[in-house]
Amino acid sequence: MERDPAAVTAAPNPEETRRRLTSEVAEVEGAIELVASGSASKITLSGLKFGEQLARRFSMDAQSKGVRLDPILFPEDAGCDLIVRRIDE
């Protein structure tokens, strides 16, 4: 009996996870700074694997700069998009 390759889950690669998390942190921090500076009123970061956790982590810092983080969750905990916008919008 053949196994469906899509059904086999590969073990997470810690190095790839670290790179992805580092990249997503930089994206969120950059978006917060752009919106806080007035260079953009809203930015949407798409397809973040750690977006929900990053929104929680950076929400207080963002609020102190007049910025709000709104995650749009994907089904089955597959990540999210993250909207970064001014609080007054």
40-66 pLDDT, tens per residue? 999 999 999 999 999 999 999 999 999
Mean pLDDT of the chain: 90
pLDDT at 1: 46
Expressed in angstroms, the distance from the first to the final Cα of the chain is 57
Taking phi over 0 as left and psi of -120 to 50 as alpha, with beta for the rest, 70 belongs to: beta
Q: Domain-by-domain residue ranges, the chain? A: 41-89
Mean pLDDT of 23-43: 97
The pLDDT of 8-24, averaged and rounded, is: 88
Does residue 23 register a pLDDT over 70? yes
How many Cβ atoms from other residues are within 10 Å of residue 45's Cβ? 20
Asked if residue 7 has pLDDT above 60, the reply is no
Contact between residue 82 and residue 54 where contact means Cβ atoms under 8 Å apart: yes
